[in-house]
Amino acid sequence: MLVDLVMQGKAKFDVIATVEELLESDASIIAEEISELNPIGIWVGGKLVAYILTKDQSDVQNILKSGLPFLAKFSAVSKKGILSIHLIDPDTQLEL
C-alpha cells in the first residue's frame, strides 16, 4: 500500500468500525506502540471509531514510519469502515 500511496497519491483500507455510521471525516491514525501485536486505532474528534485489520497493520505502520505528509479520512456505513489516506503538500496541506 505504501507503493499505491506514492504512485497514486492515495490508498484505501477496509477497517473494523466501532461506530454504526459516520460521514467522511478527518481522522488520526494512532498506534500505541509500533509493533505487529498492538492494534492501530483510528480516531475522529477524540473518539476511537475503528481499528486497522491485522492483515493491513504492517502496511499502515510503513506509511506512518515513512514520514510522508498525509491526510487520513474515515467513513462508516452499516458498521463497514473505510480509511482513505491521501498524500498532501507539506507547505499548503492540500491533497496532491
Give me the residue spans of the domains in the chain. Answer: 2-87
Q: Rounded to an integer, what distance in angstroms lies between the CA atom of residue 5 and that of residue 11?
A: 5
Question: What is the pTM for the complete model shown?
Answer: 0.88
Give 53's DSSP letter: -
pLDDT at 36: 58
Q: Rounded to an integer, what distance in angstroms lies between the CA atom of residue 51 and that of residue 76?
A: 12
pLDDT at 37: 60
- pLDDT tens per residue across all 96 residues of the chain: 667 777 888 999 999 999 999 999 999 999 866 555 668 999 999 999 999 998 999 899 889 888 899 999 999 999 999 999 999 988 888 787
Closest CA to 49 of 23, 81, 11, 12: 81
pLDDT at 35: 55
